[in-house]
Amino acid sequence: MATSTTDTTLDPHEPPIATGDGELYGILAEYDTPGELIEAARKVRDAGYSEFDCFSPFPVHGIDEAMGIKRTILPLIVFGGGFTGLVGGVFLQWWMNAYNWPWNISGKPSWSIPANVPIAFEATILFSVFAAFFGMWILNKLPQVWHPFFRSDRFARVTDDAFVLGIESRDRRFDAVATRKLLQDAGAIAVEDVYLEGDPARKTMPKWIVAFIVASTAFTLIPFAIAAKARNSHSNQPHVHLFPDMDFQPKFKSDTAMDLFADGRANRGDVPGTVARGQLKGDDEFYRGLAGGDGGGWITGFPKQLEISDATMKRGQNRYNIYCSACHGYDGRGNGVVPQRVAASGGAWQARNLVEAGGPTVLMPNGQLYNTISNGYNTMMGYAAQIPHADRWAIVLYVRALQRSQNASREDIPPDQQGSIR
């Protein structure tokens, strides 16, 4: 470093030797202990200086007060940030959930304060921390990569073991001689002038640094350029496979081609003439709802495996409420949560009313009802994969009970209880 130092010249009447390069930037004074630094700072402040700072390897309690630094406004900035986060977090959720795109999720309200507290809390924290972090940077004039005091070797030691006070020459009370004397009288163990760079060639950034910045910036743009090109052009070349052993594995997926077998398929069906365990399902009534034999239609009763009991009815209700009520509604009138949601989003769709007197479902034979649950009907998907056979029959039983109850007349009530109905 082209540092020009005038080591402690204790005679204040002799002007500092201008070894330098440029004009005087400021004066550094080193003190032995934090306590002496504080005392010196107080003297400098009392002398009316304002453009000075203290540098130490660790925070020194009391230095703020000694230097006459006002309390930081950072807490107010953080409070503003936190408040912004709170209001912003609440507004974000209100805008998205309750105003711009309300969505009926199982009938829950689209705007509910408790559900919004975690996001509001997190947003408050996030914005507070941002305000604290960037507010601190701005108040401390960071990032600052260079400062004229760096030209002093002594100054480098403030990150290690030196306690330094520096006064800048732009202070209106600055006087090269008087200021030196002040710092020395305050107990400095060394005082040093710091000059700005005088050589104009050295004031500009070296060319190799400029070149490096330009080159590295250009280099970081390359991936983005490649991505942008790929997104805006067509190619008939195959993909680049970064992990070929994962993209091409030695196995066959279902429903793909394979030359090993005569039929050219990778899938291998059951061996002809065999049935997998538990897959025979020979009973047409129970498994398909059909009367046995050729040309048998839908059965109208229930298969003999189904025990018509209170327990089966309860089971059917339970399964119905789980699988069917979402569309058909708990009462079977076709107004479940899904149609409600369709209506809430502006559409119009009703599920089939299962209990309408004289309607298709009421007239449907049991076997066909069972078949509908198994294999679906129009837009309704089949439930064979989700609901076991016995449970499907239990649902049929329960739907019959629903139809009966929803179309009940006074005569359906036992005579001894009719008096309690008004």
Partner 1 sequence: MSALQKTLHPDEKIKAGKLGSSLSKIGVGIAVIFLGLSIILTLMGSPSGGHESKWARFFHAYVIGWSYIFSISVGMLWIVMLHHLVRGRWVTAVRRVCEAMAGAFPVIFIAGLGFVLPLVFGYKDLYYWAHPDAHNHELNHHLLHKLGWLSPNFFFVRYVIYGAAFSFLAWYFQKKSRQQDESGDPKISETLRIASAPAMILYSIVTCMAAFDILMSMAPKWYSTIYGVNFWGSACVGAFAALALILLGIQRTGRLTHSVNAEHFHDIGKWMFAFTFFWAYTAFSQFMLQWYGNMPEETHWYKYRMFGEWQWVSIAMIVGFWAFPFVFLLSRWTKRIMPSLVFFAVWQLVFHWLDLYWNVMPSYQWQVAFHDGARIVAGPLSGNTAFHHVAFSPVDVTVWLGLIGVFLIGLGRNLVGNLIPVKDPTLPLSLAHEVQ
Residues near partner 1 (CB under 8 A) are: 34-35, 38, 59, 61-66, 75, 79, 114-115, 117-118
Residue 112 vs 405, nearer CB to partner 1: 112
As measured in angstroms, the least distance from the Cβ of 274 to partner 1 is 48
Which DSSP symbol is given to 105?
B
Shortest spacing between CB 115 and partner 1, in angstroms:
7
CB 109 within 8 A of CB 344: no
Our CB check for partner 1 shows the closer of 13 and 61 to be 61
The smaller minimum CB distance to partner 1, of residues 38 and 77, is found at: 38
Report in angstroms how near the CB of residue 140 gets to partner 1 at its nearest. Answer: 15
Q: Between 97 and 403, whose beta carbon lies closer to partner 1? A: 97
What are the residues whose beta carbons fall under 8 Å from the beta carbon of 56, sequence distance 6 or more?
34, 37, 63, 158, 162, 163, 164
CA separation, residue 176 to residues 13, 18, 26, 150, 182 (Å)? 10, 11, 8, 19, 10
Q: Which is nearer to partner 1, 34 or 89 (CB)?
A: 34
For the bound state, the minimum distance from the C-beta of residue 114 to partner 1, rounded and expressed in Å, comes to 6
Closest to partner 1 by CB, 84 vs 406, is 84
CB of 182 to partner 1, least distance (A): 20
Nearest-angstrom CA–CA distance, 240 and 148: 53
Main-chain dihedrals φ then ψ at residue 190, nearest 5 degrees:
-160, 145
Q: How far is the CB of 34 from partner 1 (least distance, A)?
A: 7
How far is it, in rounded angstroms, from Cα 393 to Cα 379? 21
Q: Reduce the DSSP state of residue 29 to 3 states and report it.
A: strand
Which of 366, 383, 370, 393 has its CA nearest to residue 307?
Answer: 393
DSSP string of 384-419, one letter each residue: TTTS-HHHHHHHHHHHHHHHHHHT--GGGS-GGGGG
Q: How far is the CB of 61 from partner 1 (least distance, A)?
A: 5
DSSP 200-221: HHHHSPPHHHHHHHHHHHHHHH
Cβ-count burial 372-396 (b if 16+ within 10 Å, e if not): bbbeebeeeeebeeebebbbbbbbb
State which residue, 66 or 373, has the beta carbon closest to partner 1: 66
- The minimum distance between CB 313 and partner 1, in angstroms, equals 24
**The tokens of 195 are what?**
């000059």
Nearest CB to partner 1, comparing residues 79 and 99: 79
